[in-house]
Amino acid sequence: MQDYFKQQADWLKTWQAQQESLTKQYSGLGEEWIKNLSGGKVRESEFFEGWFKSQGDLEEQFREFGRRMNEMISNVWSNKIPADVLKFVNVSFFEEFYKNWLSNIELPGGIKNPLGIDGGWQQATSFLRSFMAKENPFFSAFGSPNITDQMNRVFGMFQGAMGSEGGAFSDIFNNYQNMFSKCLESSTAQGAEKLAEGFDVWVKEISKQLTAPKLGINRELAHDISQALILSQGYVKASSKMARLVEETSRKASIRFQSKLSEAALKNKPVNKFADFCGLWASENEKVFLEVMGTQEFARLQGDFVDAGHRLKIQWNKLAEKALEPTPIALKRDLDLAIAEIHQLKRDMRTFKRELQGVEKEARFAREAQVAAEESAKNAKIAVKAAEAAAQDELKKAKAVVKAAEDAAQEELKKAKAAIKAAEAATQAEAKKAKTAEAAVAELAKQVKNDSKTKAVAPKAPAKTKSKKA
Amino acid sequence: MLTFPHTLKESLQDFTSFAESLKKGVENLASLDEKTTGFPDDHDSCGTCRNCRRCCSDKEVVFQDGKRKLYRYTKRADKICSVPTLMVYAMVNRYTMLDLQPNRSMIRNLLDEGQDLYLIDWGYTDRMDRFMTMEDYIDGFINDCVDFIREKHRLEAINLLGVCQGGTFSTIYAALYPEKVKNFIPIVTPVDFSSKDSLLNVWATEFDADLLIDAYGNVPGDMMNSAYTMLQPFSLSVSKYINMVDIMKDADRLADFLRMEAWIFDSPDQPGETLRQFLKELYQGNKLVKGQFFLGGRNVDLKNITMPVLNIYAEFDTLVPPAATKVLLDHIGSKDAQEMTYPVGHIGMFVSGKTQKTLAPNISRWINARV
């Protein structure tokens, strides 16, 4: 691959060198022409001969360039990115641009540009045709592989089954196939319309065949085929309406693009750069197309076209199924049924799984609740035990306190008793003393009494002394 | 009209410089390797994406149901938010948009902010998902993931962050299970589908969704992509690739461009029944904001959304215009509800330079104040 790239890069270098030499050649021709205008000797016809020759060379160069580029891109990208990307890449734009660019060059002296107005992209329909031919999606979504392949398969199968001796069906199939192929080859509204007209005639022919069938024709199959024909007719009509709209829009877009080109040239800002030219072409076309494509009318036409294609495809699917019925090959509807059944089972399974999960969850909750209850009972027992121990401890402490208090009380009692005894003893002693004193007093009183009796006998003074003593 | 020969030389020089850019671009393409693009040649990828692109943040699968996976991202900060956040991305593209490359990753930025992130990967829809309904995805897998995370973290409720269609799914979930959602952050989330600001809303009203699903079963991702491309048909399929020539000159920008392209076209198919419901009930019936939407037999009443809500939307979003998302706050029961807007588009919200520095810190700050 590396060698290939080197080769391509070398080729590009050569191409560039050729470009430069052609540019010089053109400039030279331009100068020669200017000389001519100022009275030179070279005749105009000779001059333009050279100019057109160079132009031809240049066109060839661009064609070769486009071809090489396409080849290179395909070589490089085919193993890197999906085929879908590749089908969008089409550098034959170069050639188209070149033609368009040349056709825009105004030749001196009112000489008609040989490339004319029809060259290149100015005719947007031709571009769109190439656009479709390149299997660009959307326009070709129903055009190529899916429907035609299926049709060919089905018809091929029928034809094979009918044998080679011919007959009404073979004719019908052959004609049908040919007509439809023509329809698909034609991508213009006009072509599709012509084909639709052809269809009308042909459907009438078929109806005749079906109303008076030849011997051996399977009426059910014939009915299915005629249905397919009617649907094909509908599809062709819908596509022709769609194609007409696309053509009209392309025409509008083309006019708009050309007027923009002229506008730019009049403002002395000609669009003569490839990228700018393409950019302008794309943006102007897009504006016009989007305006149309945003309408409900377009949506309706497109819907009709798409629906017609789908109806036809469904009918062909049905025919293919019928063709396969006698064979041991599994039919699409059988597979569909099996798949649908599998899905239903999966759904049921999911429901059961969820129910199971729900039950498991409940069981888990119950288990957890049980464990929690056991744990809490265990904890309660431990707590009770601890409480009992604490209570015992408290009791002991209380008893000790009570005993200590009792002891203290006893001690106090003893002390009190001793104090009482002491007090009693003291009291008794005091009482004794008092008695003694009383006795002494009484003795004294007696003595006093006696003294008073003896007063008369004895002097008063000793009596006074006694009193003091008393 | 160009005039001969004045602009001739100039134009040819333009071509020459254009060719010069291409030459440089080709050289850059030649030197691309896994390190710069994220596309390993040996296909030894993490197995997350169809195109073997390595995501930039480390993660592991913590829960799985078939192809649907729940990832937990490896922490990147010392201090981690105590309530994890579950991210629900849309089914129409891959979640890798949130983790495109180190310098463009909302996930990485949130991890750096200390968020504990989980993410739902819907996987690539195949035929087995044909009959999967919104109930299967919302009431089924989202709810399973939320329960898984709640149980793992021993939490009653977790944060929920929904993006685009994933935001709509998350809104429905938050209305059905408000007790399991601590904080709700919808980003570019459509809830009102009546707005005519988006072409998708206009187109969706005029086609038969039943026919689409009956014809295709699972609707191809390419078809969905075509519809998105048609929102800006010329910008997205012409201009972008013309401008690419300029981008190609710079190897880093080229690698960025390729990564983004790979993401854009990495579109899983849409499961038929889910898309039928989404189109009929929401896009066409607009039943969510009307209070008429039922999931698994239960009415989805947005008034049940009472947790704190941070509604983030993009000002220039053409896919989910502001009108489709702003009204959420008018319909919910939350007292603590805020909105935040950025001047970007739908994808720009996650990859533009404007949001890289502010979006994740703002979300993180808002969450941290409420856990």
- pLDDT tens digits along A328-380: 777 888 888 888 898 899 889 888 888 898 899 899 999 999 999 999 999 99
Average pLDDT over residues A2-30: 63
A101 contacts in B (CB within 8 Å)?
2, 11
* Amino acid letter, residue A43: R
What pTM was estimated for this model as a whole? 0.70
Evaluate whether B90 touches B163 at the Cβ level (below 8 Å).
yes
- pLDDT tens digits along B145-172: 999 999 999 999 999 999 999 999 999 9
Nearest C-alpha neighbor of B352 from the set B234, B229, B205, B188: B188
* Greater model confidence, B358 or B5: B358
Average pLDDT over residues A206-219: 58
- pLDDT tens digits along B60-115: 999 999 899 999 999 999 999 999 999 999 999 999 999 988 888 999 999 999 99
Most confident of A303-317, A332-346, B333-347: B333-347
**Among B5, B14, B266, whose Cβ lies nearest the Cβ of A33?**
B5
pLDDT at residue B343, rounded to an integer? 95
Closest-CA residue of chain B to A262: B1
Across the interface, whether the CB atoms of B131 and A89 are under 8 A apart is answered no
A234 pLDDT exceeds 90? no
Peptide bond into B343 cis (omega under 30): no
The dihedral region occupied by B267, where left means phi > 0, alpha psi between -120 and 50, and beta the remainder, is beta
B2-3 vs B99-101, strand pairing mode = unpaired
* Greater model confidence, A99 or B370: B370
Tell whether B32 is within 8 A of chain A (Cβ). Answer: yes
pLDDT at residue A112, rounded to an integer? 46
Tell whether B205 is within 8 A of chain A (Cβ). Answer: yes
pLDDT at residue B189, rounded to an integer? 97
What whole-number distance in Å separates Cα of residue B240 and Cα of residue B228?
A: 14
A119: which residues sit within 8 A by CB, 6+ positions away? Answer: A99, A100, A102, A103
Distance from CA of A394 to the nearest CA of B (A): 47
Across the interface, whether the CB atoms of A310 and B212 are under 8 A apart is answered yes
pLDDT at residue B210, rounded to an integer? 97
pLDDT at residue B234, rounded to an integer? 82
Evaluate whether B87 touches B117 at the Cβ level (below 8 Å).
yes
Across the interface, whether the CB atoms of B234 and A286 are under 8 A apart is answered yes
**Among A22, A272, A289, whose Cβ lies nearest the Cβ of B7?**
A272
Which residues make beta-bridge pairs with B295? Answer: B298
A144 pLDDT exceeds 50? no
Q: Give the tokens for residue B258.
A: 């390729």
Half-sphere exposure for A137 (CA within 13 Å, toward CB): 21
A294 contacts in B (CB within 8 Å)?
196, 199, 202
Number of helical (H) and strand (E) elements in chain A, helices listed first: 13, 1
Tell whether B126 is within 8 A of chain A (Cβ). Answer: no
Going from N- to C-terminal start, the domains of chain A cover 1-122, 143-329, 360-466
Nearest C-alpha neighbor of B37 from the set B54, B17, B24: B54
Closest-CA residue of chain B to A296: B202
pLDDT at residue A132, rounded to an integer? 40
Most confident of A160-169, A280-289, B362-371: B362-371
Interface of B with A in 79-118 (CB under 8 A): none
Average pLDDT over residues A273-286: 81
pLDDT at residue A462, rounded to an integer? 44
Domains observed in chain B:
49-368 (3.40.50.1820)
Nearest C-alpha neighbor of A183 from the set A202, A168, A166, A169: A202
Tell whether A258 is within 8 A of chain B (Cβ). Answer: no
Average pLDDT over residues B189-199: 93
What percent of chain A is predicted at pLDDT more than 90?
13
- pLDDT tens digits along B21-53: 777 777 777 676 655 555 444 334 455 544 445
Number of cross-chain residue pairs from A and B with Cβ atoms under 8 Å apart: 220
Across the interface, whether the CB atoms of B8 and A26 are under 8 A apart is answered yes
Distance from CA of B199 to the nearest CA of A (A): 6
Which residues make beta-bridge pairs with B63? Answer: B70
Tell whether A336 is within 8 A of chain B (Cβ). Answer: yes
pLDDT at residue A74, rounded to an integer? 65
Q: Give the tokens for residue B199.
A: 């072409």
Tell whether B251 is within 8 A of chain A (Cβ). Answer: no
Across the interface, whether the CB atoms of B215 and A347 are under 8 A apart is answered no
For the beta carbon of residue A240, count every other beta carbon within 10 angstroms: 23
Query: Token pair 């660009």 is at which residue?
Result: A136
pLDDT at residue A145, rounded to an integer? 38
Evaluate whether B111 touches B75 at the Cβ level (below 8 Å).
yes
Active site residue ranges of B? 164
A232 pLDDT exceeds 50? yes
pLDDT at residue A273, rounded to an integer? 72
Distance from CA of B234 to the nearest CA of A (A): 5
Most confident of A215-224, A325-334, B190-199: B190-199
> B182 in helix, strand or coil?
strand
- pLDDT tens digits along B228-283: 888 888 888 778 877 877 888 888 888 888 788 878 888 899 999 999 999 999 99
pLDDT at residue A141, rounded to an integer? 32
- State the alpha helices, DSSP H only, in B291-340: 322-326, 328-331
Distance from CA of B79 to the nearest CA of A (A): 33
Distance from CA of B332 to the nearest CA of A (A): 28
Tell whether A97 is within 8 A of chain B (Cβ). Answer: no
Tell whether B42 is within 8 A of chain A (Cβ). Answer: no
Long-range contacts of A446-453 (CB under 8 A, 24+ apart): none
Tell whether A109 is within 8 A of chain B (Cβ). Answer: no
Q: Give the tokens for residue A226.
A: 């005629």
For the beta carbon of residue A142, count every other beta carbon within 10 angstroms: 23
**Among B4, B14, B207, whose Cβ lies nearest the Cβ of A307?**
B207
Interface of A with B in 218-237 (CB under 8 A): none
Task: Provide DSSP, B60-122.
Answer: EEEEEETTEEEEEEPP-SSS--SS-EEEE--SSS-GGGGEEETTEEHHHHHHHTT--EEEEE-
A4: which residues sit within 8 A by CB, 6+ positions away? Answer: A75
**Among B12, B132, B265, whose Cβ lies nearest the Cβ of A23?**
B12
B99-101 vs B104-105, strand pairing mode = antiparallel
B179 pLDDT exceeds 70? yes
Question: What is the ipTM score, two decimals?
Answer: 0.87
**Among B51, B132, B203, whose Cβ lies nearest the Cβ of A82?**
B51
Tell whether B197 is within 8 A of chain A (Cβ). Answer: no
Least confident of A158-162, A182-186, A449-453, B346-350: A158-162
